[in-house]
Amino acid sequence: MRIALASDAWHPQVNGVVRSLSTTVEGLRRSGHEVEVIEPSRFVTVPCPTYPEIRLSLACGRKVRKILTETQPDSIHIATEGPIGWAARSWCIRNERSYTTAFHTRFPDYVSIRTGIPVQWLWKMMRRFHGCAERTFAATTSLAEELNSRGIERIHIWPRGVDLDQFNPKVPPHPAMASLPRPILLNVGRVAPEKNIEAFLDLELEGSKVVVGGGPALERMREAYPDVLFLGPKHGAELASAYTAADVFVFPSRTDTFGLVNIEALACGLPVAAYPVAGPIDILGGDGCGIHGGSACIGAVDEDLAKAVARTRTADRRAAATEATHYSWDRCTRLFVEGLVSSAARKKGGEMAWTRVARLTP
């Protein structure tokens, strides 16, 4: 099958969305699919305001149309709501081609936090973008329910995976964390306002706090929290070694749709403490025993993050690693393919689909 994947998020960006998409593309190609990735390096770009690592493609519509017209893919998946995504969406609607989208990032919340734009205005734009799609991919059932409540329907569940060869309890601990006072509390992710890192760093707890990751707020955080060890961005084996060196993984974000780092931590035998929000609760379950029938504690969710950390201190590290084995990238790739819409299906039900488009598009 020829698949076109349109995404404004791609290498060299470092985040969970890029890791998820690039790993999926690798899996698709291994399975024999042809994948045409339409991503920012193929266009003239400028840095995104407040997010210079993210490049926004300028005047990309003509080239996106040319790529899709020449490729004539069997399936089209639009992964992001940026310029490339909107251009691909426009081509599909104009050419009466069915397509799927994905809701990877709480774009309305992120933009509202940074700009003050009312979040309901941004959700209106999300409804317009995703409303025309045959299906919208979401990582968890709780996110699917939220999207339904906001008027985005026809959800296909597409969870995320973890590389168990890279992330596992056998990885030697990171040497920079070896002499830190215990317990070692770790956070991994972008150091940015929407990640709510201060909720973790402000906790009055014994032991040491370590943050792995880069981002626009890194230098400010280093100055504001001199007692915290900021290791900067880490990848591969070095990232895995940070997980195995820690005692608790603390995930303070309330805006992530999944939190790939949570299952990376579990795969390394590191229990997770988080708020009871979409993403963490879909991984840990309300009782902290996971969602695959386990009975041992692998983490904790609580509106009082300090209480979640305290409960996680007694978690079973072996059970945490076992829970992570349910997140296979091969399974995730199969589910991705199952959610796609083929070109052969574009005429089937087309009248109803495009009536829906007309109603949702101003």
In this prediction, residues 166-179 reach a mean pLDDT of: 97
Structure tokens, 320: 């945490």
How much is the pLDDT for 14? 83
In this prediction, residues 131-136 reach a mean pLDDT of: 96
Q: What is the Cα–Cα distance from 321 to 294, expressed in whole angstroms?
A: 12
Q: What is the Cα–Cα distance from 147 to 277, expressed in whole angstroms?
A: 14
Q: What is the Cα–Cα distance from 22 to 35, expressed in whole angstroms?
A: 11
pLDDT tops 60 at residue 114: yes
pLDDT band, residue 19 (cuts 50/70/90): very high
How much is the pLDDT for 177? 98
pLDDT tops 90 at residue 301: yes
pLDDT band, residue 123 (cuts 50/70/90): very high
Contact, 299 vs 324, CB < 8 A?
A: no
How much is the pLDDT for 356? 32
pLDDT band, residue 105 (cuts 50/70/90): confident
Cβ contacts of residue 154 below 8 Å, gap of 6+? 133, 134, 135, 136
Q: What is the Cα–Cα distance from 137 to 232, expressed in whole angstroms?
A: 31
**Is the whole model's pTM more than 0.85, yes or no?**
yes
In this prediction, residues 99-103 reach a mean pLDDT of: 97
Instruction: Kindly list the distances between the CA atom of residue 129 and the CA atoms of 71, 80, 184, in Å, as whole numbers in the listed order.
Output: 23, 10, 42
How much is the pLDDT for 350? 40
Q: Quote the percentage of the chain above a pLDDT of 90.
A: 82
Q: What is the Cα–Cα distance from 259 to 16, expressed in whole angstroms?
A: 7
In order of their start, the domains of the chain are: 2-161+330-360 (3.40.50.2000), 175-327 (3.40.50.2000)
Q: What is the pLDDT of residues 24-72, one digit of tens each?
A: 999 999 999 999 999 999 999 998 876 777 788 999 999 999 999 999 9
Q: What is the pLDDT of residues 194-239, one digit of tens each?
A: 899 999 999 999 999 999 999 889 999 999 999 999 999 999 999 9
pLDDT tops 80 at residue 323: yes
How much is the pLDDT for 358? 29
Q: Quote the percentage of the chain above a pLDDT of 70.
A: 93
Q: What is the dihedral of CA 236, 237, 243, 245, to 10 degrees?
A: -160
How much is the pLDDT for 313? 87
